[in-house]
Structures are given as structure tokens and as C-alpha cells.
Homo-oligomer: A and B are copies of this chain.
Amino acid sequence: MNENNADAGAGRRTQLRDRLIDIAQETIAAQGLDGLKARDLAAAAGCALGAIYTAFHDLDELILRVNARTLARLELALGAAFVDAEAEQALEAMARAYLSFARKEEPSWRALFEHRLPPGAPVPAWYADARNRLFSRLDAPLAQLLPGKDATARAALARTLFSAVHGVIALGLEEKIAETPPKLLDEQLGLLIRLLAAGLMMESARLI
């Protein structure tokens, strides 16, 4: 009598999984990673405490699932920034989009980096994929900017540029480290982009 929803392929197990991911996502978005408690989650989902562990092996697995969604949204936000403009402008737009996303969804964004899986646990392939898709967004403008570099060097460069931008934003938004007012952070991000762009132009000149 139930089961009249669209995705008929989803069994009860999958239904509970999705519901838990939804609720965990909202909780993390509102209260951060530390706000996610097993008992509250079960209460909000209307299921028993133990039911969580029939759907996921860990809370860690659930968190990774939420983080994968955050990565997807972030990828979307970065993708919208690249309007087949000049490569350098595209990179700047992506950096600004990253800062904008971090500000708009700070707790969810924080959770991407605060969460650590238990020592020795391997990163699931589907999570590594989501992470690599994000980095690959930088590939097109980099290919345009540095036609001489091969794909693996470009991928490494993409990670490095992402990491540099991330570092400035992460520490800039962190009270404990820097306490940077918003306007100053905007300026400093712009400065970093200028510095890196100048270096990239020099690099591209070296390779011709």
C-alpha cells in the first residue's frame, strides 16, 4: 500500500539511508560536525538508535556521505564560475566562488576538513572520486594557460593551487589563527590570485 513513490527500486534500507543522510546534512549545516549525535539523529529520523547501524557501519560512513554531497555542491558552485572566459579570470572566479561557498555554508564546508576517518581506514573510492572531480574543475583553464604541461603535471598543479587558495581562506575564516575581517580577506585573496597569476604567466613563458 505504501511504496507509491517514484523510485520503486529503493527498498526500505535505502529509504532509511537517504533519510538519515538528509537529516545529518541539515544538522551539520546548522550546528557543524560536532552537533551530529547518534541519539538526536535517531530521534529526528523517527527510528531506533540501533537502526543507524543497520544502514551504516559507522557515523564516519554517514559523515563521508554528507561530505560527498557537500563536495558535489561545491563542485557546482565552482563550475558556475567558469563561463568560458579567459583562463586567468576563470581561475580567479573559481577562487572567489570557493570563498563565497565557504562563507555561505561554513559548517558544512568545515566538516570536509575537520572530519578524520579512523587511523588505517582507507578512503572509500566513491569519496576519492568526488574529491578528484572537484580538482579536475581547474584542469580546463590550466590547460588553456599552460599548453605545454602534460595531464599529470596539470593535475598536480591544480591540487597545489587549490591548496594555496584553501589555506588562505581556511586560516582567514579561522578566529583562532588570524581573525581577519571580511574585507581584508577579500583583498588578500585577490592579492594571492595576482601573485599566482603572475607566476603562472612567467611559467608559461618559460615553457614556450
Contact = CB atoms under 8 A, between A and B. Distances in A.
Given A163-B170, A164-B164, A194-B203, 12 more contacts: A113-B177, A116-B176, A159-B178, A159-B188, A163-B171, A163-B172, A164-B167, A166-B171, A167-B168, A195-B196, A196-B196, A198-B199
Q: How many copies of this kind of chain does the complex include?
A: 2
10 contacts: A114-B114, A117-B176, A123-B175, A156-B188, A159-B178, A163-B178, A194-B203, A195-B196, A196-B199, A198-B198
Contacts of A202: 195, 198
Interface string A155-183: 01101101111111011100111111000
A192 interface: yes
A191 interface: yes
Contacts of A179: 123
A17 B66 CA distance: 41
Contacts of A197: 199
Given A198-B202, A199-B195, A159 B176 contact: no
A208 interface: no
Interface of A: 113-114, 116-117, 123, 131, 156-157, 159-160, 162-168, 170-172, 175-180, 184, 187-188, 191-192, 194-200, 202-203
Contact of A199 (B113, B117, B166, B199): B199
A113 B176 CA distance: 9
